[in-house]
């Protein structure tokens, strides 16, 4: 059991987290924009998250928190 | 004691424990003295790789809460201008000594006063002021070093002592500790690390939002207004019934004193106004004497091509003729040269 | 569930202004994590540069000073001499450290100042719009090397870490990269080690971090990581350049 939380308003949509996720569950939310004007990164299939924190480690803006 | 050594010892007595400098004539006695004395009192001396580094070490140490100084001479002071502007912008206190030599360029190594503009009109970029102190005796050097540090701390602004090679090399007896240190609040704004709760300290001169920068500069200018009111200083000598008033500072003022003596023997009444603070400039003092009926003309004498003369002329404000006599490049005006100038002016004015 | 990754306390809450995907943010976080782990946040004084990291004083949650362009090592020297018991670090770009501030870094290292320099090598001037840096690679096109950098007229890219590692005052110098997780983890260890060396009073320490500038390289953030790996690492070999036991 693991969970990632995105502080969406800090996200700049750079997609580094998308590329680094070994489970390929981080996606860009094309349906919304944050208050910076970016489509933020998000995870929908949370049950697949293994809590490796790769996304968080790769994120230049410290958007992501990881629980396990 | 030699003027340069007196500066160094006075700084130590004033509690300065950090000195950062780079060799340049004619101020080399100051760093040499500091290199010897500071370790004895638990202080730090660094011969930096350049004046640029030295002034930035001053920035760091001042921001860290220390009483700190640097000294140099004209070309080195030019290099320090970047740092001085940052120090003023970040509101840090420090003492900068300029033992002026002739310029421009590499110039010479003999005494001069040709860095007046650089010292009092800015030198570095941006809206700021240095408090500029101009001693004319070694005792005054000692007193003004103590006072300079206190003014710097009180207003959180850099202070400059503007001397010249003559003053630096001259020997005179001095007494330390005549000027009592000021009582100053602790430097809670300094980056010193902390225990418990306090907002973190940030030393900075960047204000990217123009409104914030204008507010910041206006706040600094409020201090400058207070400095003008509280710290402006000048000595007036023999002005009471003088026909000609000479305005001169530092070494030149000493020479003018002998001119006054010789002149009085010849029945010529000459007075001296000696600005002790070049900024804030004692314009009011000059104006009030220029107004007097007995004063026929004001003569500024400098070891330059006429720099303070511009401020004197502004202060005289057309009330009387404002004239200039100077030597430059390291040439020192002799009393008789100045007297001859005074006589010429007097004849013209009395005609 | 317990938190396995969260914002380090040594970063403030202020959102960082860096361009999307710029690795400055990663390095900020690594420095902050190292300060947290060593529990030295309140005993640390940082010095921000002039460059894209100019606002670092808003991001690091410790006492900070903002220095003039290239002068951070001199400012850090002043601070460290006043507070020898505190940890003092500079955070500088390659224009700042390798060009205008070349004298300051060389002599701080040579004096063995017990400070840590975090040196961001992104082979370009970011903040001013992508001009050539001393670290710009040969043939790399920048705003001021529009035909590509040529050795004959612009010289070769400077390997600062190798240069400084010839100095006796330097205690620890390592070049790291942040282009993938493995290297990020290692970069963090190197930064932490530099701070530890400083705490032990061993001498000057520096970690050179190969970094990206997607905006001025004209690449996406992801392409930038690959460009770093393929082009920078061969010229700027990773690893410890100097370590004094
Ligand atoms: C004395 C001075 N010269 C030039 C500048 C303009 N300037 C600001 S940032 C910068 C380049 C910074 O590049 P770098 O150090 O590589 O950092 P980056 O922006 O890439 O992180 C320059 C030249 C300045 N602020 N001060
Ligand atoms: S310009 Fe380059 S170095 Fe600067 S924030 Fe943007 S991507 Fe980063």
Express each pLDDT in A9-41 by its tens digit: 999 999 999 999 999 999 999 999 999 999 999
Q: Which residues contact B36 (CB under 8 A, 6 or more apart)?
A: none
Tokens of C208: 């050179």
Whole-number Å distance, alpha carbon C154 to ligand 2 midpoint, is 23
Residues of C in contact with A58 (CB under 8 A): 26, 181, 184
If you take atom 6 of ligand 2, which residue's CA is the nearest one?
C19
- Segment B103-124 mean pLDDT: 96
Q: At what angle do helices B283-291 and B308-316 cross, to 10 degrees?
A: 50
Handedness of CA B166, B168, B173, B178 (dihedral sign): positive
Instruction: Please work out whether the CB of residue C53 comes within 6 Å of at least one atom of ligand 1.
Output: yes
Residues B146 and B242 in one domain: no
B274 within 8 A of B312, measured Cβ to Cβ: no
In a shared domain, residues B212 and B275: no
Q: Whole-angstrom Cα distance, residue B80 to residue C67?
A: 14
Same domain, residue pair B19 and B86? yes
Nearest to A67 among C3, C7, C26 (CB): C3
Looking at B231, B254, B275, which one is the last position of a domain?
Answer: B231
DSSP structural state of residue A40: P
Please work out whether the CB of residue C25 comes within 6 Å of at least one atom of ligand 1.
Answer: no
For an interface test with A, which of C1, C2, C3, C5 has the most A Cβ atoms less than 10 Å from its Cβ?
C5
Strands A64-67, A26-28: pairing kind? unpaired
Tell me the average pLDDT of chain B. Answer: 97
Closest to C118 measured CA to CA, from C33, C6, C245: C33
- pLDDT greater than 90 at residue B29: yes
Predicted local distance difference test score (pLDDT) of residue A1: 84
| Contact call for residues C30 and C192 (beta carbons, < 8 A) | no
Say how far apart CA B28 and CA B15 lie, in whole Å. 21
What pLDDT does residue B350 have? 61
Q: Are B120 and B109 in contact (CB under 8 A)?
A: no
For residue range B137-165, list pLDDT tens digits in order.
999 999 999 999 999 999 999 999 999 99
Q: What is the CATH number of the domain that holds B223?
A: 3.40.50.970
Using alpha carbons, select from A30, A35, A44, A31 the residue that is nearest to residue A12.
A35
Chains contacting chain B through 3 or more C-beta pairs under 8 A:
C
Could you tell me if B221 and B267 lie in one domain?
no
**Residues in chain C with pLDDT values less than 50:** none
Domain ranges of chain A: 3-67
Rounded Cα distance, B315 and B319, in Å = 9
Q: Do C16 and A60 touch (CB under 8 A)?
A: yes
**B243 and B287 assigned to the same domain:** yes
Query: Which chain A residues touch C20 with a CB distance below 8 Å?
Result: 12-14, 38
The fold of the A3-67 domain, in CATH, is Alpha-Beta Plaits (3.30.70)
Domain for residue C6, yes or no?
A: no
For ligand 2, is residue C95 a contact (CB within 6 Å)? no
Q: Are residues B216 and B257 in the same domain?
A: no
Q: Do B282 and B228 meet the contact criterion of CB atoms below 8 Å apart?
A: no
Mind listing the pLDDT tens digit for each residue in B267-324?
A: 999 999 999 999 999 999 999 999 999 999 999 999 999 999 999 999 999 999 999 9
Kindly state whether C117 is in contact with chain A, defined as any CB-CB distance less than 8 angstroms. no
Q: By 3-state DSSP, what share of chain B in percent is helix, strand and coil, each rounded to 5?
A: 45, 20, 40
In which domain, by residue range, is C156 found? Answer: 24-243
Q: What is the DSSP letter of B336?
A: H
Number of A:C CB contacts under 8 A? 75
- Mutate which of C49, C65, C87 to disrupt the B interface (most B C-beta within 10 Å)? C65
| Host H or E run for residue A20 | helix A16-20
Is residue C191 included in any domain, yes or no? yes
Residue C111 within a domain: yes
**Do A67 and C19 count as a contact with CB atoms less than 8 A apart?**
no
Structural domain count, chain C:
1
Domain of B133 in residue numbering reads as: 3-231
| Residue C27, token pair as written in the block | 């390095």
Residues B132 and B281 in one domain: no
Mutate to test the interface with C, among B54, B57, B92 (most CBs of C within 10 A): B57
Question: How close C3 comes to chain B (CA, Å)?
Answer: 26
Classify residue B123 by its DSSP letter.
S
Q: Are residues B251 and B265 in the same domain?
A: yes
Q: Give the whole-angstrom CA distance, residue B163 versus residue B176.
A: 19
**Mean pLDDT for all residues in chain A:** 97
Q: What is the pLDDT of residue C37?
A: 98
Asked if residue B330 and residue B315 are part of one domain, the reply reads yes
User: Edge-to-edge strands of the sheet including B297-302?
Assistant: B234-237, B270-275, B244-247, B297-302, B322-326
Chains that touch C (3 or more CB pairs under 8 A): A, B
Do B218 and B262 reside in the same domain of the chain? no
> Which residues on C lie below 8 Å from B62 (Cβ)?
78
Residues 6+ apart with CB under 8 A from A13: A28, A38, A39, A40, A41, C20
Is it the case that residue B351 has pLDDT exceeding 70? no
Q: Are residues B212 and B280 located together in one domain of the fold?
A: no
Q: Are residues B131 and B103 in the same domain?
A: yes
| Peptide bond between residue B26 and the one before it cis (omega within 30 degrees of 0) | yes
% pLDDT > 70, chain C: 100
Specify if C16 maps to a domain: no
Given a contact cutoff of 8 angstroms between Cβ atoms, the answer to whether C130 and C142 are in contact is: yes
Last residue of a domain, one of B208, B231, B254: B231
Angle at B203 between CA B198 and CA B209, to 5 degrees: 105
Question: Is residue B136 predicted with pLDDT exceeding 70?
Answer: yes
Domain contains C7? no
For ligand 1, say whether the CB of C128 is within 6 Å of any of its atoms.
Answer: yes
Q: How many domains, in total, are found in chain B? A: 2
- Residue C235 burial class via C-beta count within 10 angstroms: exposed 0-12, middle 13-18, buried 19 and up: middle
The bridge status of strand B297-302 relative to strand B322-326 is parallel
Domain presence at residue C59: yes
Contact B62 C81 (CB under 8 A): no
Task: Enter the tokens of residue B48.
Answer: 């930096």
pLDDT tens digits, one per residue of B39-72:
999 999 999 999 999 999 999 999 999 999 999 9
- Record: contact B18-C74, CB cut-off 8 A: no
Which CATH number is C196's domain given? 3.40.50.970
C244 lines ligand 2 (CB under 6 A): no
């Amino acid at each position: 059991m693991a969970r990632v939380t995105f502080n969406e308003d800090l996200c700049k949509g750079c997609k580094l987290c998308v590329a680094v996720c070994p489970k390929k569950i981080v996606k860009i939310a094309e349906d919304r924009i944050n208050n910076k004007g970016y489509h933020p990164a998000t995870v929908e299939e949370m049950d697949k998250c293994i809590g490796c924190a790769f996304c968080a480690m790769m994120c230049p803006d410290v958007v992501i928190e990881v629980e396990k | 004691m030699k003027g340069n050594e007196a500066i160094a010892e006075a700084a130590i007595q004033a509690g300065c424990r950090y000195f950062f400098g780079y060799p340049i004539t004619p101020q080399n006695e100051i760093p040499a003295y500091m290199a010897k004395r500071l370790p004895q009192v638990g202080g730090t001396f660094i011969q930096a790789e350049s004046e640029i580094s030295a002034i930035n070490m001053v920035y760091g140490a001042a921001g860290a809460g220390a009483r700190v100084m640097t000294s140099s001479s004209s070309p080195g002071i030019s290099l320090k201008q970047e740092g001085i502007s940052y120090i003023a912008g970040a509101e840090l206190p420090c003492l900068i000594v300029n033992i002026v030599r002739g310029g421009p360029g590499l110039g010479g190594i003999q005494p001069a006063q040709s860095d007046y503009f650089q010292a009092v009109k800015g030198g570095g970029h941006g809206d700021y002021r240095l408090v500029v102190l101009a001693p004319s005796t070694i005792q005054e050097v000692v007193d003004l070093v103590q006072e300079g540090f206190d003014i710097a701390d009180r207003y959180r602004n850099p202070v400059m002592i503007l001397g010249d090679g003559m003053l630096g090399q001259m020997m005179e007896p001095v007494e330390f500790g005549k000027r009592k240190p000021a009582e100053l609040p602790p430097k809670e704004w300094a980056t010193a690390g902390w225990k418990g709760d306090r907002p973190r300290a940030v030393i900075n001169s960047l204000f990217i939002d123009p409104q914030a920068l204008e507010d910041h500069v206006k706040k600094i200018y409020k201090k400058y207004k207070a400095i003008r009111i509280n710290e402006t200083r000048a000595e007036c000598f023999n002005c009471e019934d003088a026909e000609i008033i000479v305005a001169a500072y530092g070494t030149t003022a000493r020479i003018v004193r002998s001119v006054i003596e010789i002149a009085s023997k010849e029945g010529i009444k000459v007075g001296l106004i000696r600005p002790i603070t070049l900024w804030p400039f004692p314009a009011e003092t000059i104006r009030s004497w220029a107004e007097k009926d007995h004063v026929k003309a004001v003569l500024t004498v400098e070891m330059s091509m006429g720099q303070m003369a511009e401020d004197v002329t502004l202060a005289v404000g057309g009330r009387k003729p404002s004239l200039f006599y100077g030597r430059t490049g390291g040439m020192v005006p002799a009393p008789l040269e100045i007297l001859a100038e005074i006589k010429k002016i007097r004849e013209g004015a009395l005609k | 569930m317990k938190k396995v990754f969260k914002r380090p306390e040594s970063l403030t809450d202020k959102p960082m202004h860096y361009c999307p995907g710029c690795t400055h943010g990663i390095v900020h976080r690594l420095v902050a994590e190292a300060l947290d782990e060593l529990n030295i946040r309140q005993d640390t004084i940082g010095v921000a540069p002039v460059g894209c990291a100019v606002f670092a004083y808003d991001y690091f949650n410790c006492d900070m000073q903002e220095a003039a362009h290239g002068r951070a090592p001199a400012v850090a020297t002043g601070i460290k001499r006043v507070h020898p018991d505190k940890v003092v670090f500079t955070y500088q770009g390659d224009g700042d450290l390798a060009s205008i501030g070349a004298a300051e870094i060389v002599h701080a290292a040579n004096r063995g100042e017990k400070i840590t320099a975090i040196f961001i090598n992104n082979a370009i001037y970011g903040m001013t719009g992508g001009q050539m840096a001393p670290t710009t690679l040969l043939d790399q096109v920048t705003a001021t090397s529009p035909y590509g950098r040529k050795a004959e007229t612009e010289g070769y890219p400077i390997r600062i870490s190798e240069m400084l590692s010839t100095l006796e005052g330097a205690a620890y110098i390592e070049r790291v990269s942040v282009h993938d997780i493995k290297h990020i983890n290692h970069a963090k260890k190197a930064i932490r080690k530099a701070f530890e060396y400083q705490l032990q009073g061993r001498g000057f320490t520096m970690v050179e971090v190969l970094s990206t500038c997607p905006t001025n390289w004209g690449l996406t953030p992801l392409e930038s990581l690959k460009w770093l790996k393929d082009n920078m690492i061969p010229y700027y070999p990773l690893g410890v350049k100097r370590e004094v036991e």
